[in-house]
Copies of this chain bind each other. A is one copy, B any other.
Amino acid sequence: MSPSPRLIIETLRWDEARGVLEMIDQRVLPARFERLAYDSASAVADGIRSMVVRGAPAIGCAAAYGVALEALRCRDLCAHAFAAALDEGFAVLDASRPTAVNLRWALEHMRLCLDALADAPPGVVAGRLLQEAHAVLAADVAANRAMGAHGAALLSDGMRVLTHCNAGALATGGYGTALGVIRAAVASGKHLQVIADETRPFLQGARLTAWELQQEDIPVTLITDNMAGHLMQRGEVDAVIVGADRVAANGDFANKIGTYMVAVLAHRHGLPFYVAAPLSTIDRRLADGAGIPIEERAAAEVRGFAGQQWAPEGVAVRNPAFDVTPAALVTALITERGVVPAPNVDSIAALFD
- Measured CB to CB, the residues of A under 8 A from B are 30-31, 164, 195, 197-201, 203, 206-207, 210-211, 214, 219-231, 233, 257-258, 260-261, 264-265, 268, 294, 302-303, 305-306, 308, 310-320, 323-324
Contacts and interface: CB of A to CB of B under 8 A. Distances in A.
A320 B31 contact: no
B264 A303 contact: no
Contacts of A201: 224
Contact of A219 (B231, B312, B316): B316
- As for how many copies of this chain the complex holds, the number is 2
Contact of A225 (B30, B207, B224): B224
B312 A230 contact: no
A318 B221 contact: yes
Contacts of A314: 214
Given A207-B311, A312-B214, A225 B225 contact: yes
A161 to B, nearest CB: 14
B310 A233 contact: no
B258 A312 contact: no
A209 to B, nearest CB: 10
Contacts of A318: 195, 221-223, 227, 231
A224 to B, nearest CB: 4
A311 B210 contact: yes
A26 to B, nearest CB: 12
B206 A226 contact: no
Contacts of A310: 30-31, 203, 206-207, 305-306
